[in-house]
Structure formats: structure tokens, C-alpha cells
Amino acid sequence: LRPVITIDGPSASGKGTVAALVARELGFHYLDSGALYRLAALYALREGVSWEDENQVARLAAQLPAAFTDDKAWLDGHDVSAAIRAEDIGMGASRIAALPSVRAALLERQRAYQQTPGLVADGRDMGSVVFPRAELKVFLTASAEERAARRYKQLIAKGESANLLQIQQDICDRDARDAARSVAPLRQEPDARLLDTSALTIDQAVNQVLQWFRE
């Protein structure tokens, strides 16, 4: 038995933090699918391939020389953990994620993470496309204001300059694109539990997911 918990939701909702902690608590594997899209976007940039060029980006995604170890992401043997978190790479990830053949190229790679004793997978389409038979599906969200404030704090903590209004605008743009695209649009699955974390601490959100899973 290799149970899967999917945690889908919009950008900066805190799903990555919650998913990683739930995985640690249960001793499960963790898939950060957004990181794969970010790695593919960075790889395209470095190979001189335009984010609009579906065939070429899909070709790169299919042979993505990427790996994850503990808290690091690697591309071609280089530590790109910080590079893939840049705002422009997030934008690139969102662009290439709208291309059907790019999504197809990453599908089996994501499914391969389903291993004993279990998996927590975080993204946009984990419950709808990648693991439709997951034991527990969570749709994790927070208000747009709260998400912008969280992203702002993250950037400031990293010592980067940040503009709250700009961040709010970027989050709205990204949400709109993720929800409007024709492949795997972001939406709550009918069988997913809704977890609004606007007024919850990280611990409270983690405990809610664990409680649902143990029910």
C-alpha cells in the first residue's frame, strides 16, 4: 500500500510548507511538483529555448537532468535551489505549465514518486490529473491579501527587495493564468477537502491534514 495525500492550491498559499511537514510527520516521500516546472523553466532559459516554444520546452522537460536531495534542487549537477525560487522563474514555470506537451512530459516522472510508505504531493493538479485516486485530497488556499503578505515576508527574510503591491499583482496574474489555462486548470476537485489557512498557523494546518488522513 502506497497511500497518497495530494495538496493543491494557488501560489503562496503555504501548501509547500504544509505538505513538507505532513510528509515529515508521516515519514512519507514528498513531491514538490512546482519545483519540477521551475526546473524546466530554468533549464529552458539556460539552454536558450523560449518559454513559448512548446516542442522544444517539452523536449527539455522530458530529459530534465534534475534531482532533489534533502532540501536542495539540482540541475545538471549544479545546486539551483535558490535560482529556481526567483520570481521570474516562477513566472516562467507558470508559462510553460500552460503547454500540454510540457505537462505530459513531466507526468510519469511525478507518478514515480509514489513509493512506500507513502507520498505527499503538492501542486496544482496532483488530485485531478497526477494522482486521481489519492487517499486524501486537500485544496489548500488563503485570501489573496494573506498570500501576498506571506510572499512579501519571505522575500524580505531572504534580504531581497520587495514591493507588496507588485507582489499582489503578480499573484493575481498567476492565479488567473493557472485557473484559465485549458490543461489542468487550478480548481478544487469535488472530492477534495477545503483548507483555508488565512487565519491558521502552519501547525494548525498541518494538524488538520493529519487528522483528515487518520480519519
- The distance of closest approach from Cβ of residue 125 to ligand CDP in the complex, given in angstroms and rounded to an integer, is 5
Q: Which of residues 176-215 bind ligand CDP (CB under 6 A)?
A: 178
Nearer to ligand CDP, 94 or 197 (CB): 94
Task: Name which of 178 and 189 has its Cβ closer to ligand CDP.
Answer: 178
Question: How big is the CA angle at 49 (ends 47 and 54), to the nearest 5 degrees?
Answer: 135
Q: Considering the rule CB under 6 A, would residue 137 count as an interface residue with ligand CDP?
A: no
Q: How many whole angstroms separate alpha carbon 208 and alpha carbon 110?
A: 25
Smallest distance, Å, CB 35 to ligand CDP? 6
Nearer to ligand CDP, 46 or 177 (CB): 177
Sign of CA dihedral 154, 160, 165, 171: negative
Q: Which of 44, 97, 105, 138 binds ligand CDP (CB under 6 A)?
A: 97
Query: Cβ contacts of residue 162 below 8 Å, gap of 6+?
Result: 151, 152, 155, 156
Cβ 90 to ligand CDP, closest distance in Å? 5
Considering only residues 47 to 66 of the shown chain, the ones binding ligand CDP according to CB under 6 A are none
Subset of residues 14 to 33 that bind ligand CDP, contact rule: CB under 6 A: 33
Burial class (CB in 10 A: 0-12, 13-18, 19+), 128: buried
- Find the binder of ligand CDP among 11, 128, 141, 197 (CB under 6 A): 11
List the one residue from 93, 102, 134, 140 that touches ligand CDP (CB under 6 A): 93
Instruction: Give the integer Cα–Cα distance in Å for 184 and 126.
Output: 10
HEC-encoded secondary structure of 44-74: HHHHCCCCCCHHHHHHHHHCCCEEEECCEEE
Binding status of residue 113 toward ligand CDP by CB under 6 A: no
Instruction: Cite the beta strand spans of 78-207 per DSSP E.
Output: 78-79, 119-123, 136-141, 193-196
| Residue 128 near ligand CDP by CB under 6 A | no
The nearer residue to ligand CDP, 1 or 105, going by C-beta atoms, is 105
**Least distance (Å) between residue 214 CB and ligand CDP:** 25
**Cβ neighbours of residue 215 closer than 8 Å, sequence gap 6 or more:** none
Q: Smallest Cα–Cα separation from 64: which of 50, 75, 55, 53?
A: 75
Task: Name the minimum Å distance from CB 164 to ligand CDP.
Answer: 16
